[in-house]
Amino acid sequence: MTTALANDPMTAEDRCDRCGAQAYLRVTLPSGGELLFCGHHGREHKNALREVARDIHDETRKLEAAATTSSSDAR
């Protein structure tokens, strides 16, 4: 669990609570607690998280941008 503000940008130091990979999704719970998820686990639990979250800060677009950049670099 982190103590960042819900809209603070996520950094490489933010780690998934499930597997320890870099987190791209911060879920704030009604109790004020937070959960962090990598893209994989965020997608896996997306529907359940939407039902219980007070706020979801999603930066998975960074993964899409990185994938686009890396595929164009391979050409």
Q: How confident is the model at residue 64 (pLDDT cuts 50, 70, 90)?
A: confident
Higher pLDDT, 75 or 25: 25
Q: How confident is the model at residue 2 (pLDDT cuts 50, 70, 90)?
A: very low
58 strand-pairing partners: 25
| Secondary element (H or E) of residue 26 | strand 25-28
Torsion sign (Cα): 41, 44, 46, 49:
negative
How high is the pLDDT of residue 1?
43
Q: Give the distance, in angstroms, between the CA of residue 53 and the centroid of all CA atoms in the same chain.
A: 13
